[in-house]
């Protein structure tokens, strides 16, 4: 089969004779119909390239074979699914998404309805995992009820700030918070206000405004206690810290979670804020020996949470309560993916996902 594999020196290379992987325990073989790009596709190649390992994290397609231990009450051959995986893996070179056939972890996949295209579905996996892990594991917020299309409303409303609301993780977080009956508010460019409010944001704030943090604190009456930062640099962390209230109703510490390592310079400016960061790879439930702070141990708890999360989101998608990020579908298949990764490195992709059809 064709596949994009690590080529060394921050590069990928296209091969046409890669072996079709065999689905071992807990994995499914998927005929890939569409793939989506993530910033991690560039970062992994730049900092942790595994020579010959298949790249890519997000894909959608049709189940062609089930491995041992796959939950056959949930999945069967012929199911249309979206899934997330790890590309350029240092432990298993067969797990990437950028191929004509890819392996899906059954606990990090969900079925998609016939009304949803593979192109719209394929960017959702990483954002589901990242947003869910941050909101419901790290921030300890209540999860939505998959059996009720009407979320219970928190009284009084609980505001949750999503910094970078127009990112793919941001739009997923806004929707999950809305489904849980919480009150998402977002920072974004004014050009993306309509996108964020259409998905459930109660208010949007211009992240470029020097008063952004103060404006959020005023809007929340100094009651903001939960923040997800989908941008995660020192400037956004400072803004989020400024937005967090100082006299919280329950008297407990506020919580801030990011999707990249924290700026320690900012982190310790407020001892009343519990700060942490997450990586979606922890949901694999397997040890991941990446360099420095990016490595992850095996975690049965995170694996179990991932299974619960993706089953929940499968129901929310079927009910029409969650949808994917805006996409730009590009022609050219796997051969064209390299150009898109170059655009990610240049920072030229905003408020959309680059998607490539393979079938």
Q: What is the CATH number of the domain that holds 161?
A: 3.40.50.720
Choose the most confident range, by mean pLDDT, from 187-191, 249-253, 289-293.
187-191
* Same domain flag for 352 and 228: no
* Mean pLDDT in residue range 259-267: 93
Is it the case that residue 248 has pLDDT exceeding 70?
Answer: no
Q: What 3-state DSSP class applies to 256?
A: strand
Q: What are phi and psi of 27, to 5 degrees?
A: -125, 160
| Predicted local distance difference test score (pLDDT) of residue 293 | 86
* Same domain flag for 148 and 167: yes
Cα 219 from chain centre: 28
CATH number at residue 11: 3.90.180.10
Per the CB < 8 A criterion, the answer to whether 112 and 92 are in contact is no
Question: Is 148 a domain residue?
Answer: yes
Please enumerate in sequence order all residues whose Cβ is within 8 A of that of 259, keeping only pairs 6 or more positions apart, or say none: 130, 134, 169, 229, 230, 232, 277, 278, 279
270 pLDDT band, cuts 50/70/90, is very high
* Same domain flag for 117 and 199: no
Cα–Cα distance for residue pair 235/215, rounded to 1 Å: 16
* Same domain flag for 179 and 48: no
DSSP 8-state code for residue 23: -
Name the residue range of residue 10's domain: 3-123+325-357
* Same domain flag for 40 and 94: yes
* Same domain flag for 164 and 219: yes
Instruction: Cite the beta strand spans of 230-283 per DSSP E.
Output: 254-258, 273-277
* Same domain flag for 94 and 157: no
How many distinct structural domains can be found in the chain? 2
Question: Is 338 a domain residue?
Answer: yes
Q: pTM for the complete prediction?
A: 0.95
Is it the case that residue 247 has pLDDT exceeding 70?
Answer: no
Average pLDDT in the chain: 93
Q: Pairing state of beta strands 226-229 and 254-258?
A: parallel
* Same domain flag for 119 and 155: no
* Same domain flag for 164 and 23: no
* Same domain flag for 163 and 38: no
* Same domain flag for 167 and 265: yes
Which of 241 and 48 is assigned the larger pLDDT? 241
From 275-284, 294-303, 319-328, the region with the lowest mean pLDDT: 294-303
Question: Is 8 a domain residue?
Answer: yes
Question: Is 16 a domain residue?
Answer: yes
* Same domain flag for 24 and 42: yes
Per the CB < 8 A criterion, the answer to whether 353 and 341 are in contact is no
From 2-16, 86-100, 242-256, 273-287, the region with the lowest mean pLDDT: 242-256
């Amino acid at each position: 089969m064709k596949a994009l594999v690590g080529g060394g020196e921050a590069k990928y290379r296209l091969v046409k004779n890669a072996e079709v992987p065999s689905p071992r325990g807990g994995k499914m073989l998927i005929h890939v119909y569409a793939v989506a790009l993530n910033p991690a596709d560039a970062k992994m190649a730049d900092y942790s390239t595994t020579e010959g390992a298949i790249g890519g994290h997000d894909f959608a397609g049709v189940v062609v074979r089930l491995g041992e231990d796959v939950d056959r009450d949930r999945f069967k051959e012929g199911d249309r699914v979206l899934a997330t995986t790890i590309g350029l893996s240092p432990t298993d070179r067969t797990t990437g998404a950028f191929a004509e056939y890819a392996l899906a972890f059954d606990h990090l996949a969900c079925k998609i309805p016939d009304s949803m295209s593979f192109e719209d579905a394929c960017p959702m996996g990483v954002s589901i995992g990242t947003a869910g892990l941050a909101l419901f594991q790290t921030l300890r917020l209540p999860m939505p009820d998959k059996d009720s299309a009407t979320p219970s409303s928190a009284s009084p409303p609980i505001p949750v700030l999503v910094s970078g609301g127009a990112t793919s993780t941001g739009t997923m977080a806004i929707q999950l918070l809305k489904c849980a009956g919480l009150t998402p508010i977002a920072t974004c460019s004014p050009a993306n206000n309509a996108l964020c409010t259409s998905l459930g944001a109660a208010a949007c704030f211009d992240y470029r405004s020097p008063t952004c943090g103060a404006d959020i604190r005023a809007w929340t009456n100094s009651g903001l206690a939960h923040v997800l930062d989908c941008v995660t640099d020192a400037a956004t962390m400072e803004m989020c810290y400024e937005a967090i209230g100082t006299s919280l109703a329950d008297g407990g510490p506020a919580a801030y979670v990011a999707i990249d390592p924290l700026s320690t310079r900012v982190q310790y400016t407020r001892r009343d804020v519990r700060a942490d960061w997450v990586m979606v790879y922890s949901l694999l439930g397997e040890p991941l020996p990446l360099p420095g702070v990016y490595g992850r141990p095996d975690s049965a708890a995170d694996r179990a949470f991932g299974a619960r999360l993706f089953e929940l989101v499968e129901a929310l998608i079927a009910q029409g309560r969650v949808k994917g990020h805006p996409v730009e579908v590009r022609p050219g298949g796997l051969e064209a993916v390299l150009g898109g990764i170059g655009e990610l490195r240049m920072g030229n992709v905003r408020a959309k996902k680059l998607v490539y059809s393979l079938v």
